[in-house]
Every structure is written in C-alpha cells, then in structure tokens.
C-alpha cells in the first residue's frame, strides 16, 4: 500500500476516533504508532513513541507556557479582571451599550496579561454578564460580549497558542508572540465597534444608563495599574531583547504573584487553586504537543505534506486561493474540534505548503490563531460559547445567536490580515 494512502487512512481514522469522543491526544498517538508501525516496523514505532515523548516534553521553548498560564491564573484568582471591568465601566457608562464595550475592552486588557481565552471568558462571564443583566441588557448581547472578548486571549500576547505554534514550526517564539499584538488590538477595536453598531441599530438591546458608577476616576486608574505595568515589563522586555520568551513569562508570573500579595487578594487557598489550574492546563497542552509531534512525524513519512504541495503546484492555484481554502478547512474543523487539537494536527500539514508558496511563517502563525478564534464561537462545539452559557445561565441557542455578528467581525479581521500582511509582520520585523 502506498505511504500516501496509509496517511490518508490514518487521518480518516483520527477523525473517526475524535467523533467517537476518544481524547484527541490519545487518538493522535494511537494513529501515529500504528501507522508508523505499518510503514516501518512495530518495534521501531514503539521505540519512536518513547523518544518522541521525551523529546517533545523536553523542548526548552515549552517552558514559557506554564509561566504564562500561571500568570493568568494568579491574576484571575486575584480578581484583576473585575477591577479592569469596573474601571472601564466608569469611563464608558454614558455611552449606550457601554457595558458591552467595557466587557470587550476588559477582556482585551486581561488577555494582555493572561494569555488564555478560557481565563478571559470565564472571568468576564462571572463579572460583567450579571452587571449587564442588572441594567436590563439583552441576555444574548451580554453573553456574546463576554464570549467574543474572551477569544482575544488566544491572540494578544502572551498567548500560549502562539507559543505552541512557534514550537511546532521552529519559528522564533519571541517574534511569533509579538506578531499577535497589532492584529489583536485591531480585532478588539472591531469587536467593540460591532457592539456599538448593534446597539445603535437596536437600542432595545442596551438601555441608556441613568446612574453613574460609584467609582471616582482616580480610583478607576488605581484599580487597573497592574495591567500596563505587567505587560510593559513582560512583553516590553521581550520586545526590547532584555528577556528571552521564558524569562518574559517568569517575570510576568512573578509580578502577578507580587500583585496578589501586595493587594492581599491572594491567600494560600487561591494560590493553591491557581497552581492546580496551571498544572492541569499545562499538562493538557504538553500531552497534545507530544501527540502532535508524533502525528506530524507520521505524516512526514507518509509524504502527505509534500504530495499536497506538489499537487497545488501542478494545479497552478494562486497563493491567495490556497490561503482561502485553508481558512475554509480551519473553519469547518473549528465547528467540530478544540482549537489546540486543530493547531497540532493541521500545522505540520499546512505550514510547509504555505511557506513553500513564499509566505512568512510568523504571519501564517498569527493568521492560524485568528482562524482558530472563529471555532471558539462556532456551533456545534464552540468551546467559549458553551462555557459562557454554563457560567451565566443564558440558553446556549441565545448565546450562539448573540455571537453571530461578532463571528462575522472576526472574519473581517482575518481578511484584513490576509490583505495587509504587515499588520502581523511589522513588529517582528523590527526585532530581527
């Protein structure tokens, strides 16, 4: 049997196992071990499994992921997300729909010091949605604002997904992280504009606020000082070349811990919960990383990436159309799979094709993460929408309907980055 056919059968079996709710990492490892054993030998396959597991987990670049996750968990348990939301609410309360805009803005600021979509969305769901419901905001808009804003945690640095992409492709992690900043801020601005336009079109979604929040402007600035400080030290140090990516993550985690201690919001119980959450999330990412490397090696020996590249060259498809097809594939998978799973499965296939067409690997990393953002909101999986619905009690169907305009906005942001690649390459270019 031709190796390419073995690869295609393996990929089909992988999708079948995922559909049967087998854990993605286990399914990938199983297919890789059996497929490699069929092509080479079972002894070589089992030996390879041990080697790949050790090599995948011992990559030094991966050490930055637990630091970034710990930073986000510490700040989340210390209540920083709620402080940022209250502060922005103080400045935007006069604006119709200001609470929805403040929710997205707060998610953006919290994402800049957490690196996690789940942390950002869960924090805003607990803090912002009850407040919007109190002021008679539409439930769909309230939940959708928290869900859409939460997706930015995967794009704005520090982002664990961007780090994972850098490890999978061997692209410079510092440049990949910095590349997400401009597209992330642009996407946040577009999402806030979407919320404003929705309320302008349908005023019933958000009644005009009649009472000013009981918070002075100096106090509002005081509540959110930690965000620019931690971001400036962590990511600013990385951009300036003072820190390596791992040192940047360690500095951010230390400052997050210091913030919790100084403000007396992080007791031993909360600290233990933050560490426990960090271990669980990091373990999941590391296992998927190991599985992705094993599956990627299996695909390499089946020559599927090379065959796809040659097929595209022979067909004479324009590079722009290739990127469009990749977007369609990622969109379809996003409706069925977790974003980390899509990243580790598809990157070994798509990265050689895209770079072979002459595109910048760092730019494609940002574009990949932006494509995955749509999957966080897309039914039937839509991880963020499910989580927001569960935390807020808003019916899932109403949440999905509410996020539809924001999903369209994410697609617009993706098209802008495709059309203007410098949005993602400008800052990394200044680091080179």
> Per-residue pLDDT tens for 244-260?
888 888 898 899 899 88
Q: Is the pLDDT of residue 314 over 80?
A: no
DSSP 209: P
Asked if the model's pLDDT at residue 4 lies above 80, the reply is no
Mean pLDDT of all residues in 291-317: 73
Task: Round to whole Å and give the CA distance between 236 and 110.
Answer: 16
Q: What does the pLDDT average to over 153-181?
A: 87
Q: What pTM, to 2 d.p., does this model score?
A: 0.83
Residue 204 vs residue 305, higher pLDDT: 204
Residue 417 pLDDT more than 70?
yes
- 8 Å CB contact between 82 and 127: yes
Share of residues in the chain with pLDDT > 70 (%): 93
The pLDDT-based confidence of 336 (bands split at 50, 70, 90) is low
Q: What is the pLDDT of residue 189?
A: 93
Task: Round to whole Å and give the CA distance between 193 and 191.
Answer: 5
pLDDT of residue 170: 83
| Residue the block writes with tokens 């997400």 | 180
At 381, the pLDDT band (50, 70, 90 cuts) reads low
Position 85 pLDDT exceeds 80:
no
User: Which is nearest to 73 in space by CA: 280, 237, 211, 242?
Assistant: 280
Locate the domains of the chain by residue range. Answer: 62-289+305-431
Q: Please give the structure tokens belonging to residue 198.
A: 């929705």
Residue 303 confidence (pLDDT)? 75
The average pLDDT across 376-398 equals: 80
pLDDT at 264 over 80: yes
Distances from the Cα of 276 to the Cα of 70, 73, 77, 272, 362, angstroms: 9, 9, 12, 6, 32
Q: What is the pLDDT of residue 318?
A: 78
Query: Which range among 3-7, 29-33, 269-273, 370-374 shows the weakest confidence by mean pLDDT?
Result: 3-7
Higher pLDDT, 48 or 229: 229
Residue 40 pLDDT > 70, yes or no?
Answer: yes
CB atoms closer than 10 angstroms to residue 389: 20
- In Å, the largest CA–CA distance within the chain is 73
Confidence tier at 197 by pLDDT (50, 70, 90): very high
- pLDDT beyond 80 at 297: no
Rounded to whole angstroms, the Cα distance separating 74 from 79 reads: 9
415 pLDDT tier (thresholds 50, 70, 90): very high
d(CA 363, CA 426): 10
Average pLDDT value for the chain: 82
Q: Is the model's pLDDT at 309 over the cut of 70?
A: no
Q: For residues 318 and 105, give the distance between their C-alpha atoms in angstroms, rounded to a whole number.
A: 38
> Could you tell me which residues come within 8 angstroms of residue 270 by beta carbon, excluding any fewer than 6 positions away?
77, 78, 260
């Amino acid at each position: 049997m031709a190796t390419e056919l073995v690869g295609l059968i393996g990929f089909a079996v992988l999708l079948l196992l995922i559909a049967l709710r087998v854990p993605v990492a286990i399914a990938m490892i199983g297919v890789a071990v059996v497929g490699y054993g069929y092509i080479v030998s079972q002894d070589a396959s089992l030996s390879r499994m041990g080697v790949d597991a050790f090599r995948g987990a011992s990559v030094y670049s991966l050490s930055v992921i637990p630091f970034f996750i710990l930073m986000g968990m510490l700040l989340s348990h210390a209540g920083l997300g709620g402080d940022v939301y209250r502060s922005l609410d103080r400045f935007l309360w006069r604006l119709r729909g200001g609470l929805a805009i403040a929710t997205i803005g707060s998610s953006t600021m919290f994402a800049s010091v957490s690196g996690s979509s789940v942390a950002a969305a869960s924090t805003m769901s607990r803090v912002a949605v009850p407040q919007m419901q109190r002021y008679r905001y539409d439930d769909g808009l309230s939940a959708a604002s928290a869900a859409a804003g939460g997706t930015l945690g995967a794009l704005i640095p520090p982002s664990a997904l961007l780090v994972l992409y850098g490890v999978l492709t061997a692209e410079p992690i510092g440049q990949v992280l910095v590349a997400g900043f401009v597209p992330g801020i642009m996407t946040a601005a577009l999402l806030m504009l979407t919320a404003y336009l929705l309320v302008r079109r349908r005023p019933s979604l958000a009644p005009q606020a009649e009472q000013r929040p009981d918070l002075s402007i100096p106090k509002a600035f005081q509540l959110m000082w930690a965000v620019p400080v931690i971001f400036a030290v962590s990511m600013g140090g990385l951009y300036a070349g003072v820190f390596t990516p791992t040192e940047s993550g360690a500095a951010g985690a230390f400052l997050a811990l210091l913030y919790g201690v100084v403000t007396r919001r992080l007791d031993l119980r909360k600290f233990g919960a933050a560490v426990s959450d960090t271990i669980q999330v990091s373990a999941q990412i590391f296992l998927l990383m190991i599985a992705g490397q094993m599956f990627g090696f299996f695909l390499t020996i089946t020559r599927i990436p090379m065959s796809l590249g040659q097929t595209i060259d022979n067909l004479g498809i324009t590079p722009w159309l290739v990127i469009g097809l990749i977007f369609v594939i990622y969109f379809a998978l996003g409706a069925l799979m977790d974003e980390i799973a899509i990243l580790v499965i598809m990157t070994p296939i798509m990265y050689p094709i895209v770079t072979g067409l002459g595109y910048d690997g760092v730019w494609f990393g940002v574009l990949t993460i932006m494509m995955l953002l749509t999957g966080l909101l897309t039914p039937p999986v839509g991880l963020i929408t499910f989580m927001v619905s569960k935390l807020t009690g808003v019916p899932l169907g109403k949440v999905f309907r509410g996020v539809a305009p924001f999903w369209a906005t994410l697609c617009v942001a993706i098209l802008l980055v495709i059309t203007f690649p410098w949005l993602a390459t400008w800052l990394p270019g200044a680091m080179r």
